[in-house]
Amino acid sequence: MAVKLSHTTVWVLDQDAAKAFYTEKLGFEVRSDIRLGGEDDTSGVRWLTVGPVGQPDAELILADTGMGHDPETAEQVRALVAKGALGPGAMWTDDCHKTHREWSERGVVFMSEPTERPYGIEAPFRDDSGNWFSLTQRTR
């Protein structure tokens, strides 16, 4: 039986701002943007997913911190995101220096320049909510 990861959750502080960040700065495409409960139901959950162009089987769920949480937990998750305490994962690139340069020009904030590591070249960055990712080029 084959099992593949298809979605992963990235908690965001503002879904509209996150949508703009991931599409305009990272170049991802919107895969889903619907309200569960109907388009006119502003109280419903917004299911917003994006993914890298050319990788249709991988989606990031840009989830409001309240999605699936009671108010107290939602506030705790929100505080962790705002603090920059969450690192949802790594993104692979075939040229870390080039991607770093292009994304920097679009306003992506990197935590460091591309650096040689035992596993490749890495340049960690933050999204507009404070989540950090490792942009990595495998060299081995």
CA–CA distance, 10 with 129 (Å, rounded to integer): 10
Question: 40-66, pLDDT tens digit by residue?
Answer: 555 679 999 999 999 999 999 999 999
- Do residues 2 and 54 touch, judged by C-beta distance below 8 A? no
**Boundaries of every domain in the chain:** 7-138
CATH classification of 7-138, choosing from 3.40.720.10, 3.30.230.10, 3.90.105.20, 3.10.180.10?
A: 3.10.180.10
- Do residues 58 and 52 touch, judged by C-beta distance below 8 A? yes
Q: Which single residue is written with the structure tokens 């039986």?
A: 1
- Give pTM, 2 decimals: 0.91
Question: 86-104, pLDDT tens digit by residue?
Answer: 999 999 999 999 999 999 9
Question: 22-43, pLDDT tens digit by residue?
Answer: 999 999 999 999 998 755 555 6
DSSP reduced 3-state for 34: strand
The reported pLDDT for the residue numbered 36 is: 84
